[in-house]
Copies of this chain bind each other. A is one copy, B any other.
């Protein structure tokens, strides 16, 4: 089976490596020369056309819906270059209506489409242990099977239409974004109360106030390490999509809206590309309280 991976960033690079490890014949493409040069798990293609023209499955791992649209529908893009019957896996987080629109256009061109947002981070991508939230026609899902298996520890099959996977991902992102902001708010609240912050992490992770994000992100704050594992701008984007979706459905989501504002303030203070736990640095600045390594200025 031949797979192409379009986008070799921190997620795509690991996913391509996992596909190759599972025995698939992999070609990869990225617009960044230096990224392409590092890609040795498979064939580094010089163009999208070269990457996808012989592929059975094409995995798109770009940043957002607009980039997905570009690589799909550009002249010499995926739809123009892939053979009929090729299955496209679209992994970027996006609004469900974008996923539905892409699926309709891709299907009309004679290809298959799986709405396949991913969760799990770069380490799990490299290990082939992502969680994939898949939806699509049975024929598309079946063709994508070996690739899904190679890249994920768990693939949920959530329905037979594109957009359902994207919807589940947006529910997850609403919660994840709120939980990061709440974790940062709580740790600065604790700091202002003069508490031992490492002890706060220990006590909360064993208590009803715990979240996956509190447990995962507060160590970044305790280490004063804001090297991006996942950047602030991911959540200005994803909570922005939640905001758009809520507004168009006449649905109030005030807690997510507050969290979005905190990510926007953090981004606007120069920390958009820093780790998303940087929201704690914003709260600490506002509260004029110290966090570990709080002296480090945002770049």
Partner of A171, one of B209, B253, B287: B209
Q: How many residues of A contact B (CB 8 A)?
A: 66
Quick check: which of A5-13, A38-46, A78-86, A175-183 contacts chain B, the rest being far away? A175-183
Partner of A175, one of B119, B158, B186, B188: B186
In the complex this chain forms, how many copies of it are found? 2
For residue A139, CB closer than 8 A to chain B, the reply is no
**Taking chain A's interface residues, is the majority helix, strand, or loop, or is none over half, making it mixed?**
helix
Known: A158-B199, A167-B193. A255 touches B131 (CB 8 A): no
Question: Which residue of the partner chain B has the closest CB to A164?
Answer: B195
| A212 with B208: CB separation less than 8 A | yes
| B252 with A286: CB separation less than 8 A | yes
| A200 with B171: CB separation less than 8 A | yes
- Chain B residues near A206: list those with CB within 8 A: 131, 154
> For residues 215 through 262 of chain A, which have their beta carbon under 8 Å from a beta carbon of chain B?
216, 242, 245-246, 249-259, 261-262
| A174 with B156: CB separation less than 8 A | no
**What's the minimum C-beta distance from A261 to chain B, rounded to whole angstroms?**
7
What is the bound-complex CA distance between A189 and B251, given in angstroms?
A: 8
For residue A133, CB closer than 8 A to chain B, the reply is yes
Partner of A168, one of B119, B179, B192, B195: B195
17 A-B residue pairs with CB within 8 Å = A131-B206, A131-B207, A158-B203, A164-B195, A167-B193, A167-B195, A168-B195, A171-B195, A174-B186, A174-B209, A175-B183, A185-B253, A208-B213, A209-B213, A210-B211, A251-B286, A255-B259
Kindly list 18 other residue pairs between chains A and B, CB separation below 8 angstroms, not including A171-B209, A210-B211: A120-B208, A131-B207, A156-B199, A158-B196, A170-B193, A171-B189, A171-B195, A174-B182, A175-B183, A175-B209, A175-B210, A179-B182, A189-B242, A209-B213, A211-B214, A249-B287, A251-B286, A255-B262
